[in-house]
Structure 1
């Protein structure tokens, strides 16, 4: 198990926020990304919560979607998932593949990416700060609250090619098992790392 770094002399590493928001909200009964949360959409709230802690944010949307239709600024950097509904893993792979070949400095200089679900706006600023402080090219950092692992997960750049090779609907779960010797668990007093939205009833419960 890799040891945590001391962030007392912290300097922000270049970490890209990558938000997964191409799902179809079947359990929610509608598009949960548009759910109203304090006057903004759920997806916008998640994005704004993560944005101050990373060097840039990219959001994975469904094929053909525009960010402003989801309450996001038009200039938001987005990657559109493939047109066929072929799973989270394939959508994630498409986004990371683009990042690997990007000529933009904000992508080339990143040592890691923070993989966040689009329905998790309650992760605390302190947790996000601590996670980003541990970012390194050859480490995967995951928060844990009361024994339960949550999000976001920080993937060092060494693991991006593996993310780009994902297929189907499993997402990155299999990679966490494959590279478990590189995973650092960061214990936090923050239920927000577990607070995703599956049904409308989750919104008042988790706020």
Structure 2
């Protein structure tokens, strides 16, 4: 989604433009240009969000921002509080930060939100007698470790696509649950179910595997940061063990979702992106990327993250 910069700001963000864009977009203005920004929002129903850097001295009518995202930045706590109260009364979805200028990550996070799709509908066919996603990792079911990484890494919405009631119960209220009644047809149907369920304001989808419990929040945050940078490609993934290869998690811009909807069977994002490597940026992993398919795989991660020994009370 384009980010329309209406003021004299140098902002190295994905989709930056100084010309009025067509289609859905967000806006960044300095406080002195807020009136022009509000006029733009009023005229464009497809303007999804506005960020204001440095607030004007006088209050403004923010009613045109009802139902839209608003990000406020100012060093004056009192001025910031006044504008936040006005925004809340206007029913805007408001975030704010007290600063002279916003940290890039906070601003990009507000303008380019990302949702996570955790694929957790597999049959665990290579793990006899167990639903592998419920196996313990660092004190909780491994699928919950993946959810935690997505949340702590900065995803705005987290969906878990499941087939088994056991997985549903294990996840509980920690994520939004999307049932896939066609899970037996392969991974493509789960990916598609997750993408369809993401909110309309999500600009990217971080596709994660429920059996990669060692992928942590640092890797998630690195993927989001790389994807939000100016000049980044539509997809950003983690570098794999082999040179030139990538591995999940992978972040997909909304413009790629339609291609994912054409997949069938056990195909995933790789089937699209390996044919078009020019669409993918690769970043180094900050965590181990092993997935858990077999008892030997699980034994390996248990050695890395041994279960705590029980303590006996005297």
Structure 1 length normalisation: TM-score?
Answer: 0.81
Larger radius of gyration: 2
Q: Distance in 2 between matches of 1:180 and 1:198?
A: 27
Q: By how many angstroms is 1:73 displaced?
A: 2.3
Equivalent residue number for residue 205 of structure 1:
300
**Which structure carries more relative contact order (alpha carbon 8 Å, separation 6+)?**
1
Which one of 135, 138, 143 corresponds to residue 35 of structure 1? 135
Shift in CA distance, 68/90, structure 1 to aligned 2, threshold 3 Å: closer
Report if the CA contact (8 A) 2:134-2:141 is conserved: yes
Assess if the C-alpha contact under 8 Å between 2:115 and 2:204 holds in 1: yes
Whole-Å separation in 1 of the counterparts to 2:202 and 2:252: 11
Pick aligned residue for 2:274 from 177, 182, 197? 177
Q: Verify the 8 A CA contact 2:195 2:205 in the aligned structure 1.
A: no
Summarize the Cα distance change of 1:33–1:22 in structure 2 as closer, same or farther, 3 Å threshold. Answer: same
Q: How many correspondences in the alignment?
A: 192
Instruction: Flag as ranges the 4+ runs of structure 1 deviating above 4 A.
Output: 5-8
Deviations 1:156-201 (A, max 9, x none): 11011111222111122211123321111112353x2x21001122
Q: In the alignment, is residue 115 of structure 1 matched against residue 215 of structure 2? A: no
Cα distance change on mapping 1:108 and 1:20 into 2, 3 Å: same
Give the one of 145, 149, 160 matched to 1:59: 160
Out of 173, 190, 195, the residue aligned to residue 74 of structure 1 is: 173
* Alignment partners' CA distance in 1, 2:157 and 2:127: 29
CA distance in 1, matches of 2:104, 2:134: 39
- Over residues 45-100 of structure 1, what are the superposed CA-to-partner deviations in whole Å (9 max), with x where a residue is unaligned? 2211221221110011016x37552x22236311111246111112212332333x
Q: What TM-score, normalized by structure 2, do the two folds share?
A: 0.55
